[in-house]
Amino acid sequence: MAQSTYPTLGQIIYEDASLEKLLPKGTSLEVLASGFDWSEGPVWVKEGKYLLFSDVPKNTIYKWQEKEGLSVFLTPSGYTGRGTYSDEPGSNGLTLDNQGRLIACEHGDRRITAMPLDVGGKLTLADRYQGKRFNSPNDVVQHPTNGSYYFTDPPYGLAKKDKDPTRELPYFGVYRVTPEGEVSLLIQDLTRPNGLAFSPDGKILYVAQSDASRAVWMVYPVLENGNVGSGKLLFDATPMVKKGLPGLPDGFKVDQDGRLWATGPGGVLVLSPAGKLLGRIDTGQATANCAWGDDGSTLYITADGYLCRIKTTTRGANLR
């Protein structure tokens, strides 16, 4: 595909020479589509060779394909009630599970769902913990070996956010749903848990916190029983927020060598497994999420009103 086919956006900022091997000088960030309210949750569907992603305020999942371009895939995507629910009612994070189903975090309906791509129809995987409804599930990932779904539950989809009167849970948790449907609370001490991903071997869970006063990525060991151990700080981007760089720690993905490609202040930060900042893809926008696509080496990026992509020399981990 020719680089001149699409307009470009932003720049690459190199903090470490190793990033030049991953994103060679001259690599461009292409804009594939624009005009969205807040694009989120991209996921690549390998069999159909297309990308799905959410526009949370528009309560819609869009489909993008190289030849066909942009189309509506599903609406409503996350809120099926009557009237106006909130300013972010739709689906947010999306992933494919090991059955090929589309797993969605639904803000308005406050649940995690599974939908077969070939026939449609949704199955609720989880909508409450100990009888209490979730706030607004934000991002979800399936463990590569134990099959459980891990997801975050901040307040962003509630009409009045953390002060919403319909809020039922006292914390913004990170949860696990087993293949049998058992829901457990794994982490309850984060103020705004957001994106999450596993290391290539599935032994580490990374969680982003989108709190401007403590904008961090945390790392947790995954225990044999599927729960997680105590968390440790991986990278603190709070100084970058204070400098005025747009965005907060949000969605991210991991490559085959364990590096994090993490949306946050200043675009997409590339972090080593040890938490060293190698550089960033400066989109100039508050950037929400990303996903590996094509042959696994293309990074698709949702950045506010834009859908973008960039070619890398690495490949994603745990690709479906």
Cα–Cα nearest to 318, from 301, 300, 296? 296
Q: What pLDDT, in 10s, does the model give residues 33-43? A: 999 999 999 99
pLDDT band at 5 (very low <50, low <70, confident <90, very high): confident
Closest C-alpha to 246, from 162, 301, 305, 304? 304
pLDDT in tens, 182-221: 999 999 999 999 999 999 999 999 999 999 999 999 999 9
Annotated ligand binding at 194? The verdict is yes
DSSP state of 176: E
Helix, strand or coil for residue 142?
strand
Write out pLDDT tens, residues 286-306: 999 999 999 999 999 999 999
Residue 21 burial (CB < 10 Å; 0-12/13-18/19+)?
exposed
Amino acid identity at 319:
L
Homologous superfamily of 3-311 in CATH? TolB, C-terminal domain (2.120.10.30)
Q: How confident is the model at residue 120 (pLDDT cuts 50, 70, 90)?
A: confident
Q: Which of 104, 103, 164, 173 is nearest to 134 (CA)?
A: 173
First and final C-alpha spacing in the chain: 24
Contact indicator for 46, 102 with CB cutoff of 8 Å: no
With residues binned 3-state (H G I as helix, E B as strand, rest as coil), the percentages for the chain, rounded to 5, are: 5, 45, 50
Inter-CA distances, 64 with 2, 261, 285, Å: 18, 21, 20
Q: Is the pLDDT of residue 2 over 50?
A: no
The confidence score (pLDDT) of residue 1 equals 38
**97 a catalytic residue:** no
**30-34: strand order across its sheet:** 30-34, 306-311, 298-303, 289-293
Residue 40 marked in a binding site: yes
DSSP, res 170: S
- Position 175 pLDDT exceeds 50: yes
- Average per-residue pLDDT for the chain: 97
**How many whole angstroms separate alpha carbon 84 and alpha carbon 261?**
34
**What phi and psi values does residue 163 have, to the nearest 5 degrees?**
-100, 15
**Catalytic annotation, pick one of 250, 255, 282, 304:** 250
Are 31 and 6 in contact, with CB atoms under 8 Å apart? Answer: yes
- % of the chain with per-residue pLDDT over 90: 96
Q: What does the domain layout of the chain look like in residue ranges?
A: 3-311
Q: Is the pLDDT of residue 46 over 80?
A: yes
Q: Which of 93, 94, 43 is nearest to 64 (CA)?
A: 43
Q: What is the mean pLDDT of residues 132-140?
A: 98
pLDDT in tens, 253-291: 999 999 999 999 999 999 999 999 999 999 999 999 999
pLDDT, average across residues 157-175: 97
Q: Note the pTM of the prediction, 2 decimals.
A: 0.97
**Per-residue model confidence (pLDDT) at position 119:** 85
59 is in an annotated binding site: no
- Predicted local distance difference test score (pLDDT) of residue 3: 42
